[in-house]
Amino acid sequence: MLITEHERLKQDIAIWSEGLGRRRSSLLPILQAIQRKYHRVSNLAMQMVADALGIHPSEVHSVVSFYAFLDERPTGRFVLRLCRTVSCHMAGKARVAQQLRNDLQIQFGETTPDGDFTLEWANCLGMCDQGPALLVNDEVHTKVTPADVHHIIESCRRTFGLHARIAREART
Amino acid sequence: MIAASLGNKLTFSEVAPDVALARALQMSRPEIIAEISAAQLKGRGGAGFPTGVKWNLAAAARSDAKYVICNADEGEPGTFKDRVILSEHADLVFTGMTIGGYAIGASSGILYLRGEYTYLRERLQRVLAERRKGGLLGRAIKGKPGLAFDIEIRMGSGAYVCGEETALIESLEGHRGEPRNRPPFPVDTGFEHRPSIVNNVETFAWVTCIFDKSAGWFKAIGTARSAGPKVLSVSGDCAKPGVYEVPFGISIAELLDLVGGKGARAVQIGGASGVCVPSSDFHRSIAFEDVATGGSVIVFGKERDMLEVAHNFLEFFTEESCGQCTPCREGSRRLLDGVEQLHRGSCSTTHLDDLCALGETMQLASKCGLGQSAPNVFLSIVAGFRNELLGRVPASQGAAEKAQKELP
């Protein structure tokens, strides 16, 4: 039987809230798990979490809207966050930003039409001695140059789609 | 001043956390807190509250549960020492938390790690698993019956304000990271209304060092009012950026020598919420009683436009203000507008003075430390570089005038 996205989301939320405990303090970890797997926290997901924890959905929404790493709108498989804080700014983040815009053909705050990449600004990534710093999902890149941008994007692309399938098939 | 503790090598690498823990567990709870108080350890996150006093209050509080919370939400611009400490000396931090748990009578510890450092989580989980296996966490720590303590890691989700201790607790409880009114303080009404101590990563690491070496060793370093060594994160226009351990009381000039930042025009001490110190004040020292810092030092070289620096920091605050109180939310916005006016060359002197008055109002009227310190950088840059900020010729106008002159 085909499991729809809706049912899968419901199952996941049930598992996570059971595992973490159905209490308010589990809210953020549950939302983080949803974000990680589904690349967003949709209205439907917020309603389901509210039901699981026995709180009002507006409470869940107030939390989702507060944190920069939780998104109501769909984000890409890869979220690229370029540090814009002062040390990375002085280390030349503006040119890296420009090349990211050029190579991805989107502005900051946008997602590529194929749903692969989202471009975001980040505040201090804690790599101030090695700027400019770029966070790609959970992985951090340091001393990024405009020329590195292409390689970083390509290495993301290699982890899914046709390239990844060929690599997987070669292994098995 | 002890020269040996200067430089890139951290004391942490020569400390045996196991020995420290064994020594601490031989003491009674009051003795542990007395040792911390004797060392005169103050919180390394920036606020500088005496750790012994904090622990004593939490130890005296009566409750069915207490919590030890490690603040690893290192979001202050220019700070990265906690990342280095957690990557290389996590055992010291966890040992310090365990000692804290024993001292105040808590059996649960929480490490609140910022979302930007998710890549550290797996490693830290492994360290915790090793400690459980080695009997350093769990039901009977080091075989001491009844001494139970364990640590879980909770992740942040990209909010600078969650580094404020009450906002951090709100976040742990599953709320927006909006700071609470204080009092009550976390030592009696903390996580889930239970007494909690919230300390910085570095503070816990120093606790372990104090039990490995001694309170006397710690107190002998630094100044009378700022005891011990301090780990700084140095970035910006200098030859050798990185993490440095220095004794409190070091002058800014000495630090610049150390990091290869000679000829700097200004140094930002304490990150976005700190102050900008112009070169005329480089004789001042880094200490709680002079220029305080949680660890951030950003060097600005000769060519830097200080208005651009102010602009960058105010954009930061406009973004990171939680929006709960008006002085911070609206004030940051107005100061940013003001910086943009200065940049365009359209800010009158009266308006600049009004902005400074607004900044002082924010310092007084904001609810938490974020809002109270948001105008600091603006005020200190105006104080130090006023002449450079006023009367700017807008870029387009400058070009037009130049073109006019070049006409035959």
Q: B190, B195, B193, B170: which is closest to B73 by C-alpha?
A: B170
Say whether both B54 and B132 belong to one domain: yes
* Per-residue pLDDT at B181: 93
Q: Specify the pLDDT at position B407.
A: 64
B172 at A interface, C-beta within 8 A: yes
In a domain, B236, yes or no: yes
Contact B80 A62 (CB under 8 A): no
pLDDT in tens, A14-69: 999 999 999 999 999 999 999 999 999 999 999 999 999 999 999 999 999 999 99
At residue A45, the pLDDT reads: 97
Q: Specify whether B263 is located in the same domain as B152.
A: no
The pLDDT assigned to A172 comes to 59
Q: What is the dihedral of CA B374, B379, B380, B386, to 10 degrees?
A: 150
Condensed to tens digits (0 to 9), the pLDDT of residues A58-79 reads 999 999 999 999 999 999 999 9
pLDDT at B146: 87
Q: What top-level class would CATH report for the domain A5-66?
A: mainly alpha
The residue-averaged pLDDT of B141-166 equals: 95
B327 in the same domain as B178:
no
**Domain match, B26 and B116 both:** yes
CA distance B27 to chain A (A): 34
In chain A, which residues have their Cβ closer than 8 Å to the Cβ of B119? 138-140
B76 at the A interface (CB within 8 A)? yes
Q: Let me know if residue B407 belongs to a domain.
A: no
> Within a domain: residue B116?
yes
Whichever domain contains B260, its CATH number is 3.10.20.600
* Residue B403 tokens, joined: 């073109």
Q: What is the mean pLDDT of chain B?
A: 94
Residue B241 contacts A where some CB pair is shorter than 8 Å: yes
| pLDDT score recorded for residue B24 | 97
Chain A interface includes B401 (CB < 8 A): no
Residues B295 and B311 in one domain: no
For every residue of A15-54, which 3-state class applies, written as one string? HHHHHHCCCHHHHHHHHHHHHHHHCCCCHHHHHHHHHHHC
B353 touches chain A (CB under 8 A): no
Please answer whether residues B41 and B210 qualify as being in contact, where contact means their C-beta atoms are separated by less than 8 angstroms. Answer: yes
Same domain, residue pair B210 and B102: yes
Average of per-residue pLDDT across A119-147: 97
**B140 is a domain residue:** yes
Fold matches, A5-66 and A78-165: no
Between these two residues, A169 and B215, which has the higher pLDDT value?
A: B215
- Which of A151-165, B97-111, B158-172, B283-297 has the weakest average pLDDT? A151-165
Domain spans in chain A, listed from the N-terminal domain onward = 5-66, 78-165
Q: Is A172 exposed, middle or buried (0-12, 13-18, 19+ CB in 10 A)?
A: exposed
Domain of residue B353 covers: 307-389
Chain A residue numbers touching B320 (CB-CB < 8 A): 123
Could you say which of A67, A124, A138 has the minimum Cβ distance to residue B75?
A124
Domain boundary among B166, B191, B220: B220
Q: Which of A64, A79, A85, A134 to mutate to test the interface with B (most CBs of B within 10 A)?
A: A85
B278 sits in which H/E element: strand B275-278
Peptide bond into B179 cis (omega under 30): no
In a domain, B404, yes or no: no
In this prediction the pTM is: 0.94
B315, closest residue in chain A (CA to CA) = A85
Looking at the structure, do residues B291 and B311 belong to the same domain, yes or no? Answer: no
Measure CB to CB from residue A138 to each of B119, B268, B296 and give the nearest one: B119
Q: Which of B308, B276, B336, B338 is nearest to A85 (CA)?
A: B308
Q: What is the mean pLDDT of residues A128-132?
A: 96
Shortest distance, CA A132 to any CA of chain B (angstroms): 11
pLDDT higher than 70, residue A165: no
- The CATH number linked to B151 is 3.40.50.11540
End position of a domain, from candidates B185, B220, B255:
B220
Assign residue B367 the CATH number of its domain: 1.20.1440.230
Q: Is residue A128 within 8 Å of B241, Cβ to Cβ?
A: yes
Q: Do B202 and B180 have their domain in common? A: yes
Chain A and chain B share a number of CB contacts under 8 A equal to: 120
Q: Which residues of B touch A62 (CB under 8 A)?
A: 176
Task: Judge whether B397 lies within some domain.
Answer: no
pLDDT by residue (tens digit) across A82-100? 999 999 999 999 999 999 9
Q: Which of A129, A135, A137, A139 to mutate to test the interface with B (most CBs of B within 10 A)?
A: A129
The 3-class secondary structure across B101-165, one letter per residue, is HHHHCCCEEEEEECHHHHHHHHHHHHHHHHHHHCCCCECCHHHCCCCCEEEEEEECCCCHHHHCH
The more confidently predicted of residues B40 and A3 is B40
Task: Please tell me the total count of domains within chain B.
Answer: 3
**pLDDT greater than 60 at residue B7:** no
Q: Which CATH number fits domain A78-165: 3.40.50.720, 1.10.3720.10, 3.50.50.60, 3.40.30.10?
A: 3.40.30.10
Q: Are B350 and B252 found together in one domain?
A: no
Lowest mean pLDDT among B52-66, B98-112, B114-128, B387-401: B387-401
The rounded distance, in Å, linking the Cα atoms of A79 and A101 is 13
Q: Is residue B135 part of a domain?
A: yes
Please report the pLDDT score of residue B4 as a whole number.
36
B67 touches chain A (CB under 8 A): no
Q: Which two tokens stand for residue B276?
A: 């900008």
For residues B165 and B85, membership in a common domain is answered with yes
Per-residue pLDDT, averaged over A126-149, amounts to: 97
Is B241–A128 a contact, with Cβ atoms under 8 angstroms apart? yes
Identify whether B128 is part of a domain. yes
B68 plus B115 within the same structural domain = yes
Q: Which of B220, B251, B275 is the last residue of a domain?
A: B220
Q: Is the pLDDT of residue A129 over 90?
A: yes
**Selected residue of A53, A81, A128 to mutate for chain B interface (largest B Cβ count, 10 A):** A128
Co-location of B207 and B236 in the same domain: no
